[in-house]
Amino acid sequence: MTTVWLAGRVLPAEQARVAALDHGLTVGDGVFETCKVVAGQPFALTRHLRRLARSAELLGLPAPDRGVVAAAAGELLAAVPELPLGRLRITYTSGDGPLSSERLPGGGMLCLAVMATKPWPDRIVVATVPWTRNERSAIAGAKSTSYAENVVALAAAHRAGAHEALLPNTVGNLCEGTGSNVVVERDGELLTPPLSAGALAGITRELLLEWAKDDDLPLREADVPISELPLLDGLLLTSSTRDVQPVAELDGRGLPVSVLARRAQRLFAARAAAGMDP
């Protein structure tokens, strides 16, 4: 069951109603965040709200009041007391608008939703797809509700029997997954595409980079040509719902899970367990 906070009220999803002319619905003019919920508490909420504000700024939207969003999250999660593992979605749009790309002046629309979820399977399969991420897009780096590219790419991955799709950028470098950041293993070190490659500034990615530095884990940002994927020693996905997860298969080729990959996975799990708002 999904429970929603909308316009100051907590109610079942089937009773929640957003205006038919909301600009987020008609043209995808909005931003969102997805937080992992553990034992009823959102993980890294402060960082997620900071990124929500950055995404809004990239779209030219006034940032939502962080205090209001945090209070709404607390109210919503208090209404769902038994939630060992869940997904909290925060959506913010420009509000009512015309049937065009112009915006109307006025306040935005804020909606939060939470639902129980299950852990990802241990064995993760990934596929490449024939489309690119535009690292020079006007909204590159924003977690926008204009998500159709990801929907199409993920559906193609599912048809190929995979859990996730990998996308290159327009110059042929690895960018990201549809809902994840990517870490590759090459020559004894871990590499993740830089934000300049068009990748979203993932919260799990951000934390892993910080914690790796503290722990002397060899992880750094670097461009990775998509053509080198068949030659890599290993692959990891990072996201708010999957944490740090080794990939078992890429485009039909089995991938080993190295000592370095397991070290990254254990490091994140240990540091994340130390506090819910790192």
Q: Which pLDDT score, from 0 to 100, does residue 107 have?
A: 78
| Helix H or strand E encompassing 185 | strand 181-186
User: pLDDT averaged over the chain?
Assistant: 96
CA distance 11 to 99: 29
Residue 148 near residue 154, CB atoms below 8 Å: no
Q: Which pLDDT score, from 0 to 100, does residue 212 have?
A: 98
Residue 112 near residue 90, CB atoms below 8 Å: yes
Q: Which pLDDT score, from 0 to 100, does residue 246 have?
A: 97
Q: Which band of pLDDT confidence, cut at 50, 70 and 90, is reported for residue 178? A: very high
Q: Which pLDDT score, from 0 to 100, does residue 272 have?
A: 97
Q: Which pLDDT score, from 0 to 100, does residue 106 have?
A: 79
Q: Which pLDDT score, from 0 to 100, does residue 82 have?
A: 85
Q: Is the pLDDT of residue 105 over 90?
A: no
CA distance 160 to 125: 10
Q: Which pLDDT score, from 0 to 100, does residue 263 have?
A: 97
C-alpha distances (whole Å) from 195 to each of 32, 56, 128, 150, 241 are 18, 17, 20, 18, 20
Is pTM, for the whole model, over 0.85?
yes
Distance of CA 126 to the CA centre of its chain: 16
Residue 111's Cβ-side half-sphere holds a number of Cα atoms within 13 Å equal to 23
CA distance 177 to 163: 10
Instruction: Sheet with 189-192: list strands edge to edge.
Output: 219-221, 189-192, 181-186, 234-239, 243-246
Model confidence pLDDT, tens digit, residues 186-201: 999 999 999 999 999 9
Q: Which pLDDT score, from 0 to 100, does residue 56 have?
A: 97
Q: Is the pLDDT of residue 110 over 90?
A: yes
Model confidence pLDDT, tens digit, residues 14-70: 999 999 999 999 999 999 999 999 999 999 999 999 999 999 999 999 999 999 999
Tokens for 274, please give them: 């130390």
Q: Which pLDDT score, from 0 to 100, does residue 41 have?
A: 96
Q: Which pLDDT score, from 0 to 100, does residue 125 have?
A: 98
Q: Which pLDDT score, from 0 to 100, does residue 81 have?
A: 83
Top pLDDT among 222 and 81 is at: 222
